[in-house]
Amino acid sequence: MNIFGDRLKEQRKEKHVTQQVVADHLGLTCRAYQYYEGGKGFPDYHGLLALAEYFGVSIDYLVGRTDNPEVNR
């Protein structure tokens, strides 16, 4: 099970962007981002923050701690 990767892929598709677009936004190679979606890699803290902000969801949602994507502020 790859909750993190599945949620990234889901969010990316909802936003209608390619893996390359997300990778460019994060300053990564496309291959590095593909590892995230494929469950072969995981971002550091700053990468998690950047992904959550880019997709407009909480870190807890991305990592599977909640099914609620809402950000609590």
Tokens of 73: 């502020």
Q: How far apart are the first and last CA of the chain?
A: 29
State residue 73's pLDDT score. Answer: 65
| Mean pLDDT (whole number) for 29-38 | 97
Is residue 71 scored above 90 in pLDDT?
Answer: no
Largest CA distance in the chain: 33
Tokens of 50: 């950047």
| Mean pLDDT (whole number) for 48-61 | 96
For residue 64, the SS3 value is: coil
The model's pTM is 0.91
Identify the band that residue 6 occupies on the pLDDT scale cut at 50, 70 and 90: very high
Is residue 35 scored above 70 in pLDDT?
Answer: yes
Domains and CATH numbers, the chain: 3-62 (1.10.260.40)
